[in-house]
Amino acid sequence: MKIDHIAIAVNNVESAAKEYQQALGIDNVEFETIESEGVKIAIIPLDNGRIELMEPTNDSSPIKKFLEKRGEGLHHMALETDNIEGEVKRMQGCGIQFLGKIRSGSAGTKVTFIHPKSLCGVLAELCSHPK
Amino acid sequence: MKIDHIAIAVNNVESAAKEYQQALGIDNVEFETIESEGVKIAIIPLDNGRIELMEPTNDSSPIKKFLEKRGEGLHHMALETDNIEGEVKRMQGCGIQFLGKIRSGSAGTKVTFIHPKSLCGVLAELCSHPK
């Protein structure tokens, strides 16, 4: 199990990316819109993972609701496993609750989300990258 | 720049550690009390970093205030650099604001914190490990 990325809700992904790039001294950034999740993301690469800045693309996006309630800030952590199906099965056997089934994320990844009530208030993405 | 750890505020660090260990399938955990920061932490090791669960040890702990205001959840992210003095100097040159000077953390680390207003609402620890 590895830390894959840390996801942060922001009001404006372009200006947030500039702030993060300047603060962390990082030149490269990639932008991607994931319509199915209602977000535009900026991916800030670090040596062992990524920071993802997320701006809602529509009013029904969960990120929009998060921003209205809590303002900008840490939204979820993402953990990577080689075997997402096996991990989900093992976790369900321990009573861990999930938000939705395993589904396709960006760039061929498979993703699902662990309910915050199973991890002390923390929303956690579980993901597998294509081999 | 690397992700060092993800820090989570919890009400009870022993029971939270058990939940995380069971959910993530991780046997080992270490506990440590950092009196200067007013926290007891559980360190959950991952392949490329750590999750740190933090319980306040006194009423003036910032973690106590966070829990009262927001409840359990993601508290800060920690980024590791080989050269904390150089990074702080570079960041201050960009207008990044810090919460306190570079100080000693646990196990010989040097730490400081970037003010959330410099990173879109995210509290970020900057740390260097002893070589």
Quickly list DSSP for chain A: -EEEEEEEE-S-HHHHHHHHHHHHT----EEEEEGGGTEEEEEEEETTEEEEEEEESSTT-HHHHHHHHH-SEEEEEEEE-S-HHHHHHHHHHTT--EEEEEEE-GGG-EEEEE-GGGTTT--EEEEE---
What is the predicted ipTM?
A: 0.95
| Residue in B closest to A71 by C-alpha | B121
In a mutagenesis test of the A interface, which of B11, B120, B125, B129 is the best target, namely the one with the most A β-carbons within 10 Å? B120
pTM, entire model: 0.96
Percent with pLDDT over 90 in chain A: 92
* pLDDT recorded at residue A123: 98
* Cβ–Cβ < 8 Å for A114, A98: yes
What's the average model confidence in pLDDT over B41-67?
A: 96
- Cβ neighbour number for residue B105 with a 10 Å cutoff: 18
pLDDT for A29 equals 97
Is B114 in Cβ contact with A23 (below 8 Å)?
A: yes
Q: How far is B118 from chain A (nearest CA, A)?
A: 8
Residue B15's pLDDT band (cuts 50, 70, 90): very high
Which chain B residues are Cβ-neighbours of A91 within 8 angstroms? Answer: 23
Residue A106 has pLDDT above 80, yes or no: no
- Across the interface, do A120 and B94 touch by the CB < 8 Å criterion? no
Interface contact B22-A94, CB threshold 8 A: yes
Mean of the pLDDT values across residues A60-86? 96
Q: Give B108 or B69, the one with higher predicted confidence.
A: B69
Cβ B49–A49 below 8 Å, yes or no? Answer: yes
Q: Which positions in chain A touch B49 (Cβ < 8 Å)? A: 2-3, 48-49
Min CA distance, B11 vs chain A (Å)?
A: 9
* Predicted local distance difference test score (pLDDT) of residue B29: 97
What pLDDT shows up at residue B63? 96
Q: Which domains does chain A have, with CATH numbers?
A: 2-128 (3.10.180.10)
Share above pLDDT 70 across residues of chain B, in percent, rounded to a whole number: 100
| Element (DSSP H or E) covering residue B120 | none
- pLDDT by residue (tens digit) across B81-116? 999 999 999 999 999 999 999 998 877 899 999 999
Among B1, B19, B96, select the one facing A120 at the smallest CB separation.
Answer: B19
**pLDDT exceeds 80 at position B74:** yes
Work out the average pLDDT over A86-105: 95
> Tokens 């990577």 map to which residue?
A80
Give the residue numbers in B contacting A (CB under 8 Å), as ranges: 1-3, 6, 8, 10-11, 16, 19-20, 22-26, 46-49, 51, 53, 70-77, 79, 87, 90-91, 94, 96, 114, 116, 118-122
